[in-house]
Amino acid sequence: MEQLNLYPVAIKVQGRRCLVVGGGNVAERKVAGLQECGAEVVLVSPELTPELERLVASGRVIHLNREFEEGDLEGVHLAICATDNKALNREIARLCENRRIPVNVVDNPELSTFFVPSVIRRGPLCIGITTGGNSPLLARRLREELEEHIGPEFGELTLFLGKLRQIIQERFSDPEKRRKIWEKVLPPGFFAHFQKEKMNSWRKQVEECISSPWE
Ligand SMILES: C[C@@]1(CC(=O)O)c2cc3[nH]c(cc4nc(cc5[nH]c(cc(n2)[C@H]1CCC(=O)O)[C@@](C)(CC(=O)O)[C@@H]5CCC(=O)O)C(CC(=O)O)=C4CCC(=O)O)c(CCC(=O)O)c3CC(=O)O
Ligand SMILES: NC(=O)C1=CN([C@@H]2O[C@H](COP(=O)(O)OP(=O)(O)OC[C@H]3O[C@@H](n4cnc5c(N)ncnc54)[C@H](O)[C@@H]3O)[C@@H](O)[C@H]2O)C=CC1
């Protein structure tokens, strides 16, 4: 497989229409990922897995119970071709490319304009792992390995830092001073010492630190 540098981005899909064509196991995984991010998922397929049936019945996914038609691409921000028909997947990819719609073709990395990474989510912290189609299983194994080290406390930590950042930005107008504060809050080697049991005392320390006069 050709060595290609991918430009990683994190896309906001909330409230945006995303099209998934096909109703098998792979489509099911992609629909779940889009739903988790609040996308308006339109699913086109004459057949669905039981899990997709359930989602459709709950009203959380718009289902067009038929084969794909070109008009389905109208108003779509992102498309995923997940049918078991290679020629059809190729054709949808071409139509998307003409319309500049980012497209993921589940059986053809060459035709995909984006890949879906393996994801670790802890609150607002999101880690995506991709091998650019070289080895999806390696991406999964790495995720499983990293998950062991990045517990749910990282979600809490990230939320806390987000709030702290707002406070620091309001309170300190000098960017150099803000940078110094951040160096103190998150010093190099922070993760080696970060323990979830000590989260509360660390938070207190940080809060005291930013409320005390600086310099
Ligand atoms: C190009 C890409 C397009 C896309 O975005 O779909 C693609 C393509 C293909 N996958 C295939 C197979 C498998 N895919 C997985 C799993 C995942 N596949 C995902 C992404 C991607 N898969 C994109 C590249 C991402 C990257 O490289 O980083 C993950 C990360 C995300 C997700 O799908 O949500 C998710 C793991 C989620 C997790 O658990 O963390 C497993 C393992 C398993 O089943 O768990 C296997 C079997 C083992 C193996 O083959 O490695 C086949 C061959 C089918 C065949 O041989 O017939 C193709 C087609 C081809 O390569 O031509
Ligand atoms: N990207 C990935 O992670 C992986 C990709 N694959 C590839 O993905 C493909 C799909 O895999 P599965 O979901 O397991 O297949 P599947 O056979 O379970 O599902 C295919 C779905 O496509 C639908 N479909 C067929 N023609 C259609 C049309 N004209 N319009 C709309 N929907 C149509 C079918 O009704 C069915 O629901 C496989 O061919 C395989 O090569 C397989 C494993 C992993």
- pTM over the 0.90 mark: yes
Which residue minimizes the CA distance to atom 15 of ligand 1?
Answer: 136
- pLDDT 10s digit of each residue in the chain, 215 long? 668 899 999 999 999 999 999 999 999 999 999 999 999 999 999 999 999 999 999 999 999 999 999 999 999 999 999 999 999 999 999 999 999 999 999 999 999 999 999 999 999 999 999 999 999 999 999 999 999 999 999 999 999 999 999 999 999 999 999 999 999 889 898 887 777 777 888 888 888 877 765 44
pLDDT confidence of residue 215 = 41
Question: Which residues are CB-neighbours of 215 under 8 A, at least 6 positions away?
Answer: 177
Ligand lying nearest the CA atom of residue 29: 1
**Which of 137, 141, 150 to mutate for ligand 1's pocket (most ligand atoms within 8 Å of CB)?**
137
Our CA dihedral for 77, 94, 133, 38, rounded to 10 degrees, sits at 20
pLDDT confidence of residue 213 = 52
Which residue minimizes the CA distance to atom 26 of ligand 2?
Answer: 83
